[in-house]
Amino acid sequence: MRSTLMTSLITSLIISLMLCSIAISNSHATVYRWVDENGKVHYSDEPKGNAEAVELNQNTQNNISVAIPAAIEPNKKAAEPITYRVRIVNPTEEETIRNNQGNFTVVASAAPELPNGYLLALYIDDILYGQPQSGAIFSVTEVNRGEHNLVVKILTQNGKVLASSSARKIFLHQASIALKAKPTPMPAKN
């Protein structure tokens, strides 16, 4: 990037110097002044029928100077890419979650702190759950009972994966409706 910037600066400097040399060579040309039939005054470098040569004072000429930028030293050490890490904090490995509605919470942790625009995405059994989000707490609802694998990924806004957690195996337990105890009526008090 710096070499492109340096090339651009040098190209701009060369173009500026060429324009200055053209302006300086034209500054020695004779300027003619004439008035047309409507009384309008004109100036040109070519003489017309009733044109008069105009004397230019030294203070009416433009002088242009271009400052040459100091050489920019290339960066000796390229910036090291940031390595992001993400892990699932909760639920724990092989945890059994008991919830009849299939609801639970997944908490992730990312390091170093994610800049604005980076998102976290939860995958349940290799399927994206909901939309990627900036927060690290996912509220999961209506998941069927059984064994599930959870993975959290750090994504850029265009979907590039920067980091991925290791898979976390959980078990979701839902009590069977058939096993629900039926309420027994209490005897009436006399």
Give dist(CA 63, CA 49) in Å, integer. 32
Higher pLDDT, 50 or 186: 50
What pLDDT digit, counting tens, does each position of 56-99 carry? 666 666 667 777 777 766 666 667 788 889 999 999 999 999 99
Please check the confidence at residue 185 and state whether its pLDDT lies above 80.
no
Mean pLDDT of 127-147: 91
pLDDT of residue 104: 93
